[in-house]
Amino acid sequence: MHDAEHLFVWRNDPVTRRMSVQTKRVTWEDHQGLLLLTIGHPHRRLYVAESEGIPVGTLRVDTDGTQAEVSLTVAPAQRHRGVGGLMLKEYLKQDARVLVAYIKHQNLASQHLFEKAGFRRTPPLDGLLQRWVREAPCIS
């Protein structure tokens, strides 16, 4: 909850909302409730990335057995600085499961980031989202 205020501002940023599945503005009360649910959820992890002690983004992982869904948010002031790629790269070092990400068709920055990290686009999910998958790395 220490980072609740940062996360609230980032979540309600107009660009973040436009690129999110849920585009509505979130109230402070709803945000606090959702954050408490996220923190307490047994199959969800929310990581807050920092640079020199300053929060710069989040990486959320929802697990489901042998695969996990990954979602990123970069602080508006940190966009176009490679923060999202660094967060994803660091996370991938520790997770050998099949990973999926759902990205809006118009979110070209995220598509490029996930492609660079080894994810591949699968057939379109619907008119709004694309499904990107990184297969589990081979261990020999």
Mean pLDDT of the chain, nearest integer: 91
Boundaries of every domain in the chain: 4-134
pLDDT at 138 over 90: no
Q: What is the pLDDT of residues 34-73, one digit of tens each?
A: 999 999 999 999 999 999 999 999 999 999 877 899 999 9
Strands laid side by side in the 67-74 sheet: 44-51, 54-64, 67-74, 98-104, 129-134, 120-121
Look at 139 and 38; give whichever has higher pLDDT.
38
Strands (E), 65-128: 67-74, 98-104, 120-121
Q: What is the reported pLDDT for 139?
A: 57
> 4-134 falls under which CATH superfamily?
Gcn5-related N-acetyltransferase (GNAT) (3.40.630.30)
d(CA 116, CA 89): 10
Q: What is the reported pLDDT for 88?
A: 96
Please give the average per-residue pLDDT across 103-130, as a whole number.
90
d(CA 15, CA 86): 20
Task: Tell me the whole-structure pTM to 2 decimals.
Answer: 0.88
